């Protein structure tokens, strides 16, 4: 497909854009673009198109593109400020979903919302490298090889950082459960 784009076939790039827009948007949102996610993704696709000459033949397009999206998102977030970005990411992740899905038990829906809030807070509490590896592996649904390529790390580094990150997330979430267990009845 890349060869067709390089040969000037506009529809080939449009096909790539359509195939990767959803994951690019998830990446932008996960890294804090908030309401600016669509602009970030559009800019990332533009930069990717301009950089196709440097794209390595035989490499996977998706991790390469996501690296561009993440860098573009960081630039946007940096200029907007971290606090606003975190609030925007949480709002974006929760938007578009009904607060209580049709036919759902309101108590279960409230519990799910609280679980999501705690997970996002625990994710925000991780160091940058650990947060990145969890987002790429689980929120963007990349395999280990794609995660390594997208982050520019060796595969072994992805494995070890992911293992440590998941342990830290588990401890953070367990700590929240213990803290909640100690609350006075209410």
Among 6-10, 87-91, 112-116, 170-174, whose mean pLDDT is lowest? 87-91
pLDDT in tens, 125-155: 899 999 999 999 988 889 999 999 999 999 9
* Residue 92 shares a structural domain with residue 166: no
- Among 96, 125, 147, residue at a domain's last position: 96
Domain that holds residue 35: 1-96
State the Cα–Cα distance between residues 53 and 49, nearest whole angstrom: 9
**Higher-confidence position of 180 and 68:** 68
* Residue 46 shares a structural domain with residue 18: yes
* Residue 129 shares a structural domain with residue 167: yes
pLDDT in tens, 51-72: 998 898 889 999 999 999 999 9
* Residue 161 shares a structural domain with residue 89: no
Task: Report the pLDDT value the prediction gives residue 183, as an integer from 0 to 100.
Answer: 39
**Higher-confidence position of 91 and 159:** 159
Residue in 88, 98, 149, 78 with CA at minimum distance from that of residue 120:
88
Compute the average pLDDT of residues 15-25: 95
State the Cα–Cα distance between residues 63 and 23, nearest whole angstrom: 10
State the Cα–Cα distance between residues 111 and 40, nearest whole angstrom: 32
Cα angle 81, 87, 91 (rounded to 5 degrees) comes to 140
How many angstroms from the chain centroid is the CA of residue 27?
4
pLDDT in tens, 25-43: 999 999 888 889 999 999 9
Instruction: Report how many domains make up the chain.
Output: 2
Are the C-beta atoms of residues 133 and 119 closer than 8 Å to each other?
no
User: Is the pLDDT assigned to residue 94 strictly greater than 80?
Assistant: no
- Among 79, 96, 113, residue at a domain's last position: 96
Quote the percentage of the chain above a pLDDT of 90.
46
* Residue 118 shares a structural domain with residue 84: no
CATH number at residue 127: 1.10.10.10
């Amino acid at each position: 497909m890349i060869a067709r784009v390089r040969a000037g076939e506009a529809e080939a790039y449009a096909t790539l854009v359509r195939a990767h827009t959803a994951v690019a948007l998830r990446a932008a949102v996960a890294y804090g673009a908030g309401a600016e996610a669509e602009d970030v993704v559009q800019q990332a696709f533009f930069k990717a198109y301009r950089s196709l000459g440097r794209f390595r033949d035989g490499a996977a397009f998706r991790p390469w593109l996501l690296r561009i999206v993440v860098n573009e998102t960081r630039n946007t977030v940096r200029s907007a400020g971290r606090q606003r970005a975190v609030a925007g990411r949480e709002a974006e992740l929760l938007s578009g979903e009904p607060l209580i899905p049709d036919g759902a038990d309101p108590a279960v829906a409230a519990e799910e919302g609280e679980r999501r809030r705690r997970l996002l807070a625990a994710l925000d509490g991780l160091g940058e490298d650990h947060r990145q590896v969890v987002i790429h592996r689980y929120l963007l649904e990349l395999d280990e090889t794609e995660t390594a390529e997208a982050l520019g790390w060796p595969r072994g580094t992805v494995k070890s950082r992911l293992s440590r990150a998941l342990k830290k997330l588990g401890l953070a979430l367990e700590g929240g459960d213990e803290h909640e267990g100690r609350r006075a009845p209410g």
